């Protein structure tokens, strides 16, 4: 067993004003006297203290550990021999009170172990009783705060049992949770007939031992397992925590406070004499113990980080001293006065923007008097007024900029959210509708982009229909196998290569039309809003420039062999460039709308489009456009995005 102080004075004063050497020495002395650490020879799973706080018991993998603590906080481990058949691995341990103040109960980590009762009143500890009535492992135990003979146990089988240690009969009462494994149980300190239980399903139940057939209240408290509960000293409020990284305070079925933590929370306990503060520890890699003020839940008030592994439990000796145990085999006594106070590390000035372009800021009141700066030049020992105030008076005030221009038009955003069509049965019609909506709010480039997309993808269906008609006519002519007189020309069966050439020529005509139209639209898209000055959109007469008014007569199909002039053009690189352009402009509304309208016609990776969806949905939520946000979520093909609707429900 080793005892040593931890940390150093420089860490204590890392948040405060520059400290003198005397202050550092005083801080180091306070740290040494208030923080003590004992290393045992086994990992610790839980701890409990005697009613007078003179002894601490630990649930260890090798059985029960006892530590004696005298008035000067000197600690000494109590060594007692235990027969091999009484070496039980323990999940939890609780010290009795009143009539059972010399007894300790432990919850074994196997079914055969059950509940073990030790008697510490004699010259050496001994096992008084082993209870094995539970059919599965016991997770938690709790003594009644008024009647120390009553012991409540919670097991993995969703049952809780109340034991009277004065008798060796079966359990006095059995409470069926009708849920999953019970993770924690706690008696109400002001009403000994009430207790609360936390379950793996995320629910918490409130029970009255006078009515053991049915719980009094059931609350769906957490997403995932609820791991711990604790009654407030007022006897009316209940705190709960779980794997969902939430700590919640309940008054009946109503949430009074709820705040998030960094990791899932495994243990919580209210701080004595501080009704608004609660301590918590993590269940995974975070080795710190936090103290939260429920009135300011966004940042912990202070924290301890003395442990090297995950804390497994803690309890308050008084309102300032905290005892904790961990998997690192350490038992540590620490004082809130020398904890890391995060509120003192943070700036009390803040600035923020709202979704409509408004700005708000808060400034901390500057202290009128600070410690005088004793630096001097040797000619005068007088301290200037600027040193007393902390800031010197500025000679002049300079204005860096006098104009604010918001780049985000919230009115246009809301209008387009309402008018945009995101499901495309007919792409040409949808793009035309969206182009008109963009034109209504003077988004000329956006409107032209929708027209360009309509040109690229909107005529695919009609082109394929024409090709199918040509193919059917050719097949009919081949099947008949005879000559037909049409306009004085003799039509012969058409070879397969001529059929292919005819189809290619049909595609060429369409591609040429689209190519020229795309050049016109793209050139205008890259133009610096020349049309925006006149307030009119630009339209192009594409067909008149490309298709002559009188087409020359086509030569007989049987005598002309048509060949491809140009190859088919892939639209996707152009659309990818368009998406890149709007992503650089931070126009996630346009990016998401294009992805949803085009669907599987373009290939956009999940890593690329997921941030667009997240940002767009967040904007919709900030504007409280819940219906539009739900629509975008339901149309998205990314599983993590689609799950958002389930969370909202």
CA–CA distance, 484 with 496 (Å, rounded to integer): 19
Mean pLDDT taken over the chain: 78
The predicted pLDDT at position 157 comes to 92
**Residue 538: what pLDDT?**
40
Regarding predicted confidence, which is higher, 205 or 11? 205
Asked whether the beta carbons of 263 and 245 are under 8 A apart, the reply is yes
Residue 216, pLDDT above cutoff 90: yes
Supply the pLDDT for residue 644. Answer: 81
Listed residue (85, 202, 107) closest to 163, CA to CA = 107
The residues spanned by each domain of the chain are 414-443+571-649, 459-569
360's CB contacts (< 8 A; 6+ apart) are: 351, 352, 354
Tokens of 622: 């900030």
pTM over 0.85: no
Q: Position of tokens 């373009």?
A: 602
pLDDT exceeds cutoff 90 at 515: no
Q: Tens digit of pLDDT for each residue in 401-442?
A: 444 445 678 899 999 999 999 988 899 999 999 999 999 999
**Which alpha helices (H) appear in 282-405, and where do they start and end?**
342-345, 385-389
221-244: pLDDT as tens digits: 999 999 999 999 999 999 999 999
How far apart, in whole angstroms, are the C-alpha atoms of residue 187 and residue 311?
Answer: 23
Single out the residue of 50, 62, 46 nearest to residue 228, CA to CA: 46
| Alpha carbons 231 and 188: distance in angstroms, whole number | 6
Residue-wise pLDDT tens digits, 51-97: 999 999 999 888 889 999 887 778 888 766 666 666 778 999 999 99
Least reliable range by pLDDT among 433-437, 451-455, 469-473: 469-473
Cα separation, 12 vs 334, in Å, equals: 13
In 418-575, at which residue ranges do the beta strands (DSSP E only) sit? 484-486, 489-491
Q: CB–CB of 283/310 below 8 Å?
A: yes
How confident is the model at residue 317, as a pLDDT?
94
**158, pLDDT greater than 70:** yes
Phi, psi of 249 (to 5 degrees): -115, 130
Query: d(Cα 97, Cα 343) in Å, to the nearest integer?
Result: 38
Least confident residue range of 108-122, 384-398, 611-625: 384-398
Whether residue 325 contacts residue 93, with contact meaning beta carbons closer than 8 Å, is answered with no
pLDDT tops 90 at residue 190? yes
Please give the average per-residue pLDDT across 557-565, as a whole number: 44
* Chain segment 380-402, per-residue pLDDT in tens: 444 444 443 444 444 454 444 44
Whole-number pLDDT of residue 623: 92
Give the pLDDT of residue 62: 81
So what's the pLDDT on residue 369? 44
Measure the CA–CA gap between 603 and 460, rounded to whole angstroms: 17
325 pLDDT above the threshold of 90? yes
Chain segment 164-178, per-residue pLDDT in tens: 999 888 899 999 998
Q: What percent of the chain has pLDDT over 70?
A: 69
pLDDT tier, 125 (very low <50, low <70, confident <90, very high otherwise): confident
Task: Record the tokens describing residue 235, joined without a space.
Answer: 């006897």
Confidence check: pLDDT of 17 > 90: no
Average pLDDT over residues 87-110: 91
For residue 367, name the pLDDT band (cuts at 50, 70, 90).
very low
Res 81: pLDDT:
60
Q: What is the pLDDT at residue 480? A: 55
pLDDT at 468: 57
pLDDT at 542: 37
**pLDDT at residue 472, as a whole number:** 62
pLDDT at 353 (0 to 100):
79
**Tokens read off for 425:** 């049965």
Q: CB of 94 within 8 A of CB of 77?
A: no
Calculate mean pLDDT across residues 12-33.
52
pLDDT at 129 over 50: yes
Residue located via tokens 């667009």: 612
pLDDT in tens, 254-277: 999 999 999 999 999 999 999 999
């Amino acid at each position: 067993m080793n005892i040593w102080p931890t940390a150093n004075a420089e860490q204590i004063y890392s948040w405060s004003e520059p400290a003198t050497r005397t202050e550092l020495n005083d801080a180091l002395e306070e740290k040494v006297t208030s923080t003590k650490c004992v290393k045992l020879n086994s990992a610790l799973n839980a701890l409990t203290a005697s009613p007078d706080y003179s002894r601490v018991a630990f649930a260890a993998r090798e059985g029960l550990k006892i530590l004696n603590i005298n008035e000067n906080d000197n600690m000494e481990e109590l060594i007692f021999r235990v027969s091999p058949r009484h070496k039980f691995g323990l999940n939890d341990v609780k010290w009795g009170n009143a009539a059972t103040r010399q007894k300790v109960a432990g919850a074994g980590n196997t079914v055969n172990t059950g509940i073990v009762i030790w008697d510490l009143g004699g010259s050496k500890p001994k096992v008084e009783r082993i209870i094995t009535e539970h059919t599965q492992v016991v997770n938690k135990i709790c003594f009644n705060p008024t009647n120390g003979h009553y012991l409540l146990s919670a097991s993995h089988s969703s049952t809780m049992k109340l034991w009277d240690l004065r008798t060796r009969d079966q359990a006095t009462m059995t409470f069926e949770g009708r849920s999953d494994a019970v993770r924690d149980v706690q008696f109400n300190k002001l009403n000994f007939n009430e207790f609360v239980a936390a379950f793996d399903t995320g629910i918490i139940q409130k029970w009255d031992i006078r009515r053991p057939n049915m719980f009094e209240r059931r609350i769906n408290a957490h997403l995932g397992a609820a791991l711990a509960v604790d009654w407030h000293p007022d006897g009316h409020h209940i705190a709960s925590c779980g794997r969902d990284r939430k700590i919640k305070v309940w008054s009946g079925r109503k949430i009074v406070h709820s705040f998030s933590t960094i990791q899932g929370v495994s243990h919580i306990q209210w701080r004595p004499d501080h009704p608004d503060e609660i301590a918590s520890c993590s269940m995974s890699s975070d080795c710190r113990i936090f103290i939260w003020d429920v009135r300011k839940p966004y940042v912990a008030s202070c924290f301890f980080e003395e442990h090297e592994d995950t804390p497994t439990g803690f309890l308050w000796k008084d309102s300032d001293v905290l005892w904790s145990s961990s998997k690192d085999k350490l038992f540590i006594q620490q004082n809130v006065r020398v904890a890391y106070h995060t509120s003192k590390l943070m700036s009390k000035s803040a600035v923020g923007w709202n979704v409509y372009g408004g700005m708000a800021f808060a400034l901390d009141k500057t202290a009128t008097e600070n410690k005088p700066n004793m630096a001097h030049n040797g000619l005068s020992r007088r301290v200037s007024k600027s040193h007393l105030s902390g800031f010197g008076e500025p000679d002049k005030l300079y204005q860096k900029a006098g104009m604010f221009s918001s780049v985000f038009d919230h009115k246009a955003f809301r209008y387009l959210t309402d008018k945009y069509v995101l499901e495309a049965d007919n792409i040409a019609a949808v793009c035309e509708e969206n182009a008109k909506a963009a034109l209504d709010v003077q988004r000329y480039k956006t409107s032209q982009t929708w027209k360009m997309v309509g040109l690229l993808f909107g005529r695919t269906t009609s082109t394929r229909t024409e090709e199918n008609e040509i193919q059917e006519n050719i097949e009919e002519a081949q099947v008949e196998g005879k000559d037909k007189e049409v306009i004085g020309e003799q039509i012969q069966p058409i070879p397969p290569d001529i059929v292919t050439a005819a189809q290619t020529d049909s595609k060429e005509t369409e591609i040429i039309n689209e190519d020229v139209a795309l050049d016109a639209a793209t050139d205008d898209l890259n133009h610096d809003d020349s049309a925006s000055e006149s307030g009119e959109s630009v339209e192009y007469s594409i067909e008149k420039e490309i298709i002559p008014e009188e087409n020359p007569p086509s030569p007989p199909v049987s005598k002309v062999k048509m060949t491809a002039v140009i190859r088919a053009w892939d639209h996707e690189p152009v659309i990818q460039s368009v998406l890149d352009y709007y992503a650089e402009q931070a126009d996630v509304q346009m990016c998401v709308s294009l992805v949803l309208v085009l669907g599987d016609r373009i290939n956009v990776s999940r890593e690329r489009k997921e941030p667009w969806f997240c940002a767009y949905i967040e904007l919709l939520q900030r504007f409280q456009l819940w219906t539009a946000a739900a629509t975008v979520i339901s149309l998205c093909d990314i599983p993590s995005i689609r799950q958002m609707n389930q969370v909202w429900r």
